[in-house]
Amino acid sequence: MNARLKGICVGTAATIRQTMESISDGAVEIALLVDDRGRLLGTLSDGDLRRALLGGASLDGPVAPHAQGRFTAVSPDADRAGVLDLMHARSISQVPILDHGVVVGLHVLRELLGAEERDNVAVIMAGGRGTRLRPLTEQRPKPMLAVAGRPILERIVLHLTGAGIRTIYLAVNYLADLIEEYFGDGDAFGCRIEYLREDVGCPLGTAGALALLPPAVSQGREPLLVMNGDLVTQFHVGRLLEAHTRGVGVATVGVRDYVHEVPFGVVSLEGDTVATLDEKPVAVWTVNAGVYVVEPSLLRHIEIGREFPMTELIASALRRGERVFAHRLEGDWLDVGRVSELRQARGEEP
């Protein structure tokens, strides 16, 4: 148990005054009533203590009778998105983490949403038609397909918000109204969301939509985080941005290893003679993960009004002799482009 958590835990003999001091020192607006084994008995907020005092309780009286015994808690393996859902549904800002009833942590809303704000703007490409996922995408855009009960695009938005990104542009096209209706201005997700609207008959690709950014962004100083809207990923946003800053290039491409095992023995021949026989060899390639950091200066090379993929923008920079770096993304990553990959993301049987 860390020092902060110890500070907000009070025993059954604690007074109201001591609990008020714990809440003040802990700065998370809550205290946790625990027994001598660290098991959670109830929660205590500023409001609970005010109501106790207004009801005639003494500052030096016991706090235990005023604890809320009906509390919301989660296990240590609860994921961030699920905890945020719980907080939103129950209008609470703190959720204790319990391991067999023992307090081992505390989720705090402002920390889940990211305490340190970043000046970087993120652009998520969410306009694709998802043809390889039909018929699932006939009535909803690919980024809005659900994984673990939540649209893929929402998972990305919450991930970026949790990393301190506060302004997100969604590049939309196919069934854009569904996306805009769901996310609105982003306030419910802890950020500001604006939309780059492509013409339905003229998709602009992964880089072309960047030409729709307002001048304040496209001519700004901070590098942009650009990513595809069909990724189930938990990469470390801060490390990627820091790697880009260290590299001093016009772009940084997030990369991953793609591993493929050949399910047969591979034979190398010299004429009609067997030279080698390699049983089920494994090949590894470094692949583009669909996540980029780009300098605003690079955007002036986008050809406006036509489909312009990010790969072409990067290739043009290389032809000019500009430096483009790679950063290996850590954590989970899955590109949901086909039904088999969607099933994998959902943990379903192939």
CATH number of the structural domain spanning residue 240: 3.90.550.10
Is pTM beyond 0.75? Reply is no
Q: Are residues 190 and 278 in the same domain?
A: yes
Q: Which domain holds residue 335?
A: 118-345
Q: Are residues 161 and 280 in the same domain?
A: yes
Q: What is the mean pLDDT of the chain?
A: 86
Mean pLDDT on 264-276: 90
Mean pLDDT on 169-186: 90
Q: Are residues 68 and 185 in the same domain?
A: no
Is residue 350 included in any domain, yes or no? Answer: no
Res. 170 pLDDT band, cuts 50 70 90: very high
Which of 15-19, 41-45, 121-125, 345-349 has the weakest average pLDDT? 345-349
Res. 316 pLDDT band, cuts 50 70 90: very high
Mean pLDDT on 300-310: 85
Rounded Cα distance between 282 and 287, Å, is 16
Per-residue pLDDT at 348: 63
Q: Are residues 162 and 303 in the same domain?
A: yes
Contacts of 206 by beta carbon, 8 Å cutoff, 6+ apart? 125, 226, 228, 290, 309, 310, 311
Number of domains in the chain: 2
At 284-299, the pLDDT tens digits run 899 999 999 999 999 9
Q: Are residues 278 and 129 in the same domain?
A: yes
Q: Are 103 and 96 a contacting pair, CB within 8 Å?
A: yes
Here the tokens at position 111 are 């920390």
Q: Are 121 and 169 a contacting pair, CB within 8 Å?
A: yes
Q: Are residues 197 and 319 in the same domain?
A: yes
